[in-house]
Amino acid sequence: MESRQQQFSLWYVLAAAVMMLLIQSYVGSAHVDNLPYSDFKVLLKAGKLNDVVIADDVVTGTLNTQGLEGLLSKQQVDKLLGLGKGDHQFATVRVNDPNLLQDLEATKVRFLGKVDNKWVSTLLSWIVPAILFFVIWNFMIKRMGGAAGGMLEIGKSKAKVYMEKETGVTFADVAGIDEAKAELMEIVEFLKNPQHYRRLGGKIPKGVLVVGAPGTGKTLLAKAVAGEAAVPFFSMSGSGFVEMFVGVGAARVRDLFTQAEQKAPCIIFIDELDALGKTRGFSAQGGQDEREQTLNQLLVEMDGFDTNKGVIIMAATNRPEILDPALLRPGRFDRHIALDRPDLKGREQILRVHAKNVTLAPSVDLVKLAAGTPGFAGADLANLVNEAALLAARRGKDAVETADFDDALDRIVGGLEKRNRVMNPREKETIAFHEAGHALVAEHRPNADRVSKISIIPRGVAALGYTQQTPTEDRYLLKKSELLDRLDVLLGGRMAEQIIFADVSTGAHNDLQRATDMARQMITQYGMSEQLGLATYEELPNPMFMGAAMLPRERKEYSERTAQMIDDEVRQLLTEASQRVEQTLLANREKLEDLAKLLLEKEVVDRATLDQLLSSKVPGPEHAPVDDTPSSVHSLEAGL
């Protein structure tokens, strides 16, 4: 709306400019016939002129257009008569004619003199255009220096300011992170009742650093603190400080703290702090130097301001391992609050928060839905609820049902369903046996997660089929026996292809990669090799919340002989796993074929159908009943 008003204002300025030009062009000359001076003398002697006004440079008056034939040329007569009959105003340029007054007196024409007001024409010709140009220039400068951050205000802070409860978020909107909420409630008390904590000589913390994986609610938590404390909330991204101009970042930091002190008590929130606070080091690049100067200014400001004024700095990042140590020391960011992915209870609370404004069917059980979404962060769960609501609306339902949540979760985990993809019968049969192999091995391993759904419908970019498993509980530690069972499940698809077709396909690429990585980690990081002992190798740098797959491996710090032993141990783990899987599938070949035929017929097999197909139960510990909602996926990939 603001940009539209600015556009309209610009059009108004342009319209005013045109009007001024028209006024300048036509004032004093509207409806005036310009006559040559020779024609003026002829018409004067013929008595066709009246009320003549003599000025310094021009002679004007009234012209009678009747009876002009024979006095002027035909072209001039036609021009004058084309304006219509009757009297018309005329003007002619005055020349040095000493007989002019005598001729006027001889024809008894009423005349008078006039002094030209040259200042009027000067005003119209010079001053008014100058004023108009200044107005346009001032408008453009204001537009350049507006909220978008123009040239004139490039050194000013671009922080968004939410006054008091304008954040629209309170702790009631935050769920699943009770420990972090309790920690930050004290910050709210600092701002509401600072004297309660100062009475014993304590000081309010200067800064709070919130770290956590993407989507865990870091920004939401900071807004909730501001909403609960009912104080101004300055929000800015770390990348918003640094520009291409030298010194801009430092100037913005100074301006931000100046504004914050004027509105104290308040909260300054810097999102994605790692964009600004990376560890300083030598670099020949100017941009790097500018970022370091900005960081230096931030450190100085955090040291300089007085916490008694009630200004608290909050920052969020998912890469705390790359932050400069000077930022993390006490006296700057005094408190560090880590947000982990929510557990079962936390996921249930988050689902209830996001489902408040969604019409749910009575059959929807959020407890079971939370049990089937391990590893989901708050943003993932919000997306799940929204996708389910959109699917239900697309299908014309009056409420969101359990089936909608299942389909939404399938789409999030596996990708978009592609039922129209054309596949030849041989490939479809291979996919069916591959997924049946995963499922059958998982059902014959007591420590493997329970199979919830099997599908041979292609999804996403490369997944031709998938087997979904639901863990019975959140796990934070895995034993060697559990890892070996998971290794067997990963190899189940490949071994099923080999047993049935005596040949293998490229579809097991992802399974083999995950199996190899798991086996190598067991040997090099978890000390699960009897031959290599308790030593660890190939330790990865601490990725914190980035994920180990995004970081390169460290330089090898062991001999070639040890490397050969590691390769042999990894190969032995995979060989032993493939032998175990082969034995299981051969002993249950009839079930494997029946499950593959059922998949070819129905394309999707759920838990209840799988239970009916399996004639004997799997020995092992009892599993708690859970929903059919999937969490882990073993997919068959399309070959490149």
What is the model's pLDDT at position 583?
A: 93
CATH number (domain holding residue 171) = 3.40.50.300
User: Which is more confident, 368 or 288?
Assistant: 368
User: Which is more confident, 111 or 285?
Assistant: 111
Asked if the structure places residue 137 within a domain, the reply is: no
Asked if the structure places residue 380 within a domain, the reply is: yes
Of 339, 367, 390, the last residue of a domain is 339
Using a pLDDT cut of 90, give the percent of the chain over it. 13
DSSP code of residue 90: E
Distance in angstroms (rounded) separating the CA atoms of residues 204 and 202: 7
What is the model's pLDDT at position 117?
A: 61
Q: What confidence tier does 628 reach under pLDDT thresholds 50, 70, 90?
A: very low
Give Cα separations from 343 to 185, 319, 510 (angstroms): 21, 22, 28
Same domain, 408 and 481: no
- Order of strands, edge to edge, in the sheet holding 87-93? 32-34, 87-93, 58-64, 49-54, 111-113
Is 164 a residue whose pLDDT tops 60? no
Q: What confidence tier does 465 reach under pLDDT thresholds 50, 70, 90?
A: confident
Of 413, 437, 459, the last residue of a domain is 413
Q: Which of 228, 387, 429, 435 is catalytic?
A: 435
107 and 45 Cβ atoms separated by less than 8 Å: yes
Same domain, 335 and 359: no
- Express each pLDDT in 93-107 by its tens digit: 877 877 777 777 777
Same domain, 196 and 237: yes
The DSSP code sequence of 203-240 is ---SEEEEEESTTSSHHHHHHHHHHHHT--EEEEEGGG
What is the model's pLDDT at position 440?
A: 92
What is the model's pLDDT at position 626?
A: 32
Same domain, 310 and 330: yes
CATH number (domain holding residue 54) = 3.30.720.210
Same domain, 307 and 384: no
Amino acid at 334: D
Asked if the structure places residue 228 within a domain, the reply is: yes
What is the model's pLDDT at position 622?
A: 36
What is the model's pLDDT at position 116?
A: 59
User: Which is more confident, 166 or 275?
Assistant: 275
pLDDT average, residue stretch 313-323: 87
Is 555 a residue whose pLDDT tops 60? no
What is the model's pLDDT at position 106?
A: 78
- Express each pLDDT in 569-579 by its tens digit: 999 999 999 99
Amino acid at 623: H
What is the model's pLDDT at position 193?
A: 78
Distance in angstroms (rounded) separating the CA atoms of residues 245 and 536: 48
Q: What confidence tier does 163 reach under pLDDT thresholds 50, 70, 90?
A: low
Is 487 a residue whose pLDDT tops 90? yes
Q: What confidence tier does 184 reach under pLDDT thresholds 50, 70, 90?
A: confident
435 is catalytic: yes
Q: What confidence tier does 584 reach under pLDDT thresholds 50, 70, 90?
A: very high
Is 356 a residue whose pLDDT tops 70? yes
Q: How many residues does the chain have?
A: 640
Structural domain of 80: 31-113
Is 55 a residue whose pLDDT tops 90? no
Distance in angstroms (rounded) separating the CA atoms of residues 383 and 408: 9
Same domain, 403 and 500: no
Same domain, 108 and 235: no
What is the model's pLDDT at position 22?
A: 65
Using a pLDDT cut of 70, give the percent of the chain over it. 75
Q: What confidence tier does 424 reach under pLDDT thresholds 50, 70, 90?
A: confident
Is 488 a residue whose pLDDT tops 90? yes
Q: What confidence tier does 515 reach under pLDDT thresholds 50, 70, 90?
A: very high
CATH number (domain holding residue 399) = 1.10.8.60
Same domain, 506 and 631: yes
Burial 42-54 (b: 16+ CB within 10 A, else e): ebbeeebbeebeb
Domain count, the chain: 4
Asked if the structure places residue 444 within a domain, the reply is: yes
User: Which is more confident, 7 or 93?
Assistant: 93
Same domain, 297 and 192: yes
Is 531 a residue whose pLDDT tops 90? no
Is 64 a residue whose pLDDT tops 60? yes
Is 46 a residue whose pLDDT tops 50? yes
Q: What confidence tier does 484 reach under pLDDT thresholds 50, 70, 90?
A: very high
- Express each pLDDT in 100-137 by its tens digit: 777 777 777 787 776 656 566 666 666 767 777 777 77
- Express each pLDDT in 386-413 by its tens digit: 999 999 999 898 999 988 998 888 888 8
Asked if the structure places residue 141 within a domain, the reply is: no
User: Which is more confident, 492 or 199?
Assistant: 492
Tell me the β-bridge partners of 93.
58
pLDDT average, residue stretch 228-236: 81
CATH number (domain holding residue 537) = 1.20.58.760
Is 636 a residue whose pLDDT tops 80? no
Asked if the structure places residue 145 within a domain, the reply is: no
Asked if the structure places residue 22 within a domain, the reply is: no
- Express each pLDDT in 142-156 by its tens digit: 665 444 444 445 545
Is 637 a residue whose pLDDT tops 60? no
pLDDT average, residue stretch 322-348: 86
Is 485 a residue whose pLDDT tops 90? yes
> Residue 176 in 3-state DSSP?
coil
Give Cα separations from 556 to 516, 543, 547 (angstroms): 18, 18, 20
Most confidently predicted of 262-276, 401-415, 446-460, 587-601: 587-601
Give Cα separations from 607 to 452, 536, 625, 628 (angstroms): 5, 40, 11, 7
HSE of 568, CA atoms in CB hemisphere, 13 A: 9
Of 320, 339, 358, the last residue of a domain is 339
Asked if the structure places residue 2 within a domain, the reply is: no
pLDDT, the chain, mean: 77
Q: What confidence tier does 6 reach under pLDDT thresholds 50, 70, 90?
A: very low
